[in-house]
A = this chain, B = another copy of it.
């Protein structure tokens, strides 16, 4: 008789809830998004939904009613009555016997949580420190998939060095992006970030940072930079949905902008706030 064990419990395989046979767990075969609200209003939902749909298409999860997912996001957010909420959701290809290929007939599994966003006022005010870490991720980081173990290990390495974020460095010695953020450098009042390509997530916060820079007539330049170049920057910052812009005041133990959030960074942050206000 086919058997399963969940922790200490033995049971017949046929009695397993489908969640235990989720391809999300077996393979990370799914995509996810993190959306946030500012004061009762969801920010950039259309953009997140579009990226989510692109991810589903990229890994061949078909027949998903995207509009229905969007409505679930809105509905859960409204029910929560949390003004500054973090909305996480993922969709996996479905549950079934563990076989790599997916020629079978799968019904996707959807999961969502709405939680309170932790306050990040002091992080914004004081800035954060970062370290670099080898970019061990797969070659399709443009897909926001559930394969995040390299990100986890990099973030943990940062934590263990009392740093807030790990900035990933590829085999060519260039920075790609943060383990869970986009990364920006400022030299001579120009803003630099990595060119968007297959190993970079098309960050939505990055997109709005670029828009903010444009409004401020700050030039944004896509360029590959090494850690050695970056540590000489006038200012550094990172961008992530849950905290938008965070100034970086230390990079691999090198002080940046005298350990204070940079002036241009603050301007960009203020301009960004116009979009979310």
Chain A 110-152: CB-based contact to B (< 8 A → 1; otherwise 0): 1111111000000000000000001111111000011111111
Q: For residue A28, which residues in chain B have a CB less than 8 angstroms away from its CB?
A: 27-28, 146-149
Cβ of A145 to closest chain B Cβ, rounded Å: 5
Nearest opposing residue in chain B for A114, CB measure: B3
Within 8 A of B (CB), among A167-201: 179-180
Interface residues of A in 1-44 (CB under 8 A from B): 1-7, 10, 13, 16-17, 19-20, 22-29
Which residues of B have CB within 8 Å of A116?
2
Copies in the complex: 2
Cα of A88 to Cα of B98 in the assembled complex, Å: 9
Judged by DSSP, the binding face of A is: mixed
- B59:A6 contact, CB within 8 angstroms: no
User: CB of A101 within 8 A of chain B?
Assistant: yes
The reply to whether B4 and A111 contact each other, CB–CB distance below 8 Å, is yes
| Known interface pairs A76-B10, A98-B88, A113-B3; A140-B150 also in contact (CB < 8 Å) | yes
Contact B97 A115 (CB under 8 A): yes
A5 touches B112 (CB 8 A): yes
| Cβ of A105 to closest chain B Cβ, rounded Å | 14
State the Cβ distance, A243 to closest chain B Cβ, in Å: 13
- Could you tell me if B134 and A139 are in contact, using CB atoms closer than 8 angstroms? yes
Contact A100 B5 (CB under 8 A): no
Tell whether, in the assembled complex, residue A101 and residue B3 are in contact, meaning their CB atoms are under 8 Å apart: no
Interface residues of A in 208-232 (CB under 8 A from B): none
CB within 8 A of A111: which of B20, B103, B115?
A: B20
Kindly provide the distance from the CB of A199 to the nearest chain B CB, expressed in whole angstroms. Answer: 10
Query: Which 9 interchain pairs have the tightest Cβ spacing?
Result: A100-B155, A147-B147, A27-B148, A5-B112, A28-B28, A136-B139, A101-B159, A101-B155, A3-B114
* Extra contacts besides A7-B111, A26-B146, A100-B155 (17): CB < 8 Å: A1-B79, A2-B82, A5-B112, A7-B110, A13-B113, A16-B113, A27-B151, A28-B28, A28-B148, A98-B113, A101-B152, A101-B158, A102-B152, A102-B156, A103-B159, A135-B139, A139-B150
Give A residues with C-beta under 8 Å from B: 1-7, 10, 13, 16-17, 19-20, 22-29, 59-60, 72, 75-76, 79-82, 88-90, 92, 97-98, 100-103, 109-116, 134-140, 145-153, 155-156, 158-159, 179-180
